[in-house]
Amino acid sequence: MQILNYIGYFLVSIGAAFFFLGGLGILRMPDLYTRLQAGTKASTLGAMSTILGIGFMQPEWMIKTIIIVIFIAIANPLSSHALARGSHKAHQLPYLKDEKVGDAYEEEVENLQKNQKEEDK
Amino acid sequence: METSVSKLNKFIYTWLILFLVWLGFTTTFAFAEVVTGILLSFTVSIFSFKSFTHAGLKSLSPKRILYMVQYFFVFMLALIKANFDVAKIVINPKLPINPGIVEFESKLTSPFAKMLLANSITLTPGTLTVDIIDNKFFIHWLYVTGTDEETTYREIAKQFEDILIKIYN
Q: What are phi and psi of B143, to 5 degrees?
A: -130, 90
Global pTM reads 0.80
Q: For chain B, what is the mean pLDDT?
A: 83
- Please give the pLDDT value at position A103: 74
- Please give the pLDDT value at position B1: 45
Interface contact B130-A103, CB threshold 8 A = no
CB-based contact, B60 to chain A, within 8 Å: no
A74-78, A116-120, B28-32, B146-150: which has the minimum mean pLDDT? B146-150
CA-based nearest residue to B131, from A29, A76, A80:
A80
Q: What is the mean pLDDT of residues B62-69?
A: 86
Q: For chain A, what is the mean pLDDT?
A: 84
- Please give the pLDDT value at position B139: 85
Which residues of chain A lie closer than 8 angstroms to B21, CB-CB? 67
Secondary structure letter of residue A98 according to DSSP: S
**Most confidently modeled of A33-42, A96-105, B70-79, B119-128?**
B70-79
- Please give the pLDDT value at position B141: 83
- Please give the pLDDT value at position B2: 47
Which residues of chain B lie closer than 8 angstroms to A33, CB-CB? 99, 128, 140
- Please give the pLDDT value at position A54: 92
- Please give the pLDDT value at position A99: 67
- Please give the pLDDT value at position A87: 87
Interface contact B83-A41, CB threshold 8 A = yes
pLDDT higher than threshold 50 for residue B152: yes
**pLDDT band at A50, cuts 50/70/90?**
very high
pLDDT higher than threshold 60 for residue B3: no
CA-based nearest residue to A33, from B75, B138, B83:
B138
pLDDT higher than threshold 50 for residue A21: yes
What residue type is B87 in one-letter code? A
- In order of A13, A46, A67, the CA distances from A57 in angstroms are 13, 17, 16
pLDDT higher than threshold 70 for residue B21: yes
pLDDT single digits (tens) B86-128: 888 888 888 888 888 888 888 888 888 888 888 888 888 778 8
Which residues of chain B lie closer than 8 angstroms to A28, CB-CB? 90, 95
Interface contact A63-B123, CB threshold 8 A = no
Interface contact B86-A37, CB threshold 8 A = yes
Identify the burial level of A82 via C-beta atoms within 10 angstroms of its C-beta, where 0-12 means exposed, 13-18 middle and 19 or more buried. Answer: exposed
B31-45, B78-92, B143-157: which has the minimum mean pLDDT? B143-157
Percent of chain A whose predicted confidence (pLDDT) is above 90: 16
